[in-house]
Amino acid sequence: MEPVSSIRRLGFRKWYERQLIDCHLALVTCFLCGIVIAACFEGVTFRDFGPRSATMMALVVGATTLGWYSWRRYITVLERAERYGERSTCEGCKAYGRFEVLNAGVDSVPGPTAEAVAPLEVAWMRVKCRQCGALWRMPE
């Protein structure tokens, strides 16, 4: 239950900030992999395909794999942060991110939110506002 334990330990605002930093680091990694792919393709010659060209092709394959993984991580972590962020404001007193997690669980029939925050173990959290005591479920 990674998000729940992290939110309990850090608080929602710090957790959200760290999620955004994490996903944007993955985006930068993906961008750098694209540069490596382009640079390595420049060094490949298929006329005299030797050890240098084979090394460049291996780097292209490695950078493509890492770039794809980084892109998927970027999308997954950003989607998770946005899903939880959409419901992080108390509707009673409008306090942003000031709540405590009461419990968490997984829906028996996964809906669009559970699929969007995959591969997370926890699809929802029951939270209580620290200012007014209002209860709500997030992300839905």
* pTM of the predicted model as reported, rounded to 2 decimal places: 0.80
Tell me the Ramachandran region of residue 97: left when phi exceeds 0, alpha when psi lies from -120 to 50, beta otherwise: left
Q: pLDDT, tens digit, for every residue of 79-129?
A: 989 989 999 999 999 999 999 999 988 766 666 655 555 555 557 889 999
122: nearest Cα among 134, 135, 105, 101: 105
Q: Give the tens place of pLDDT for each residue, 27-82.
A: 999 999 999 999 998 888 888 888 888 999 999 999 999 999 999 999 999 998 99
pLDDT score, position 1 = 46
pLDDT of residue 94: 93
DSSP bridge partners of 135: 128
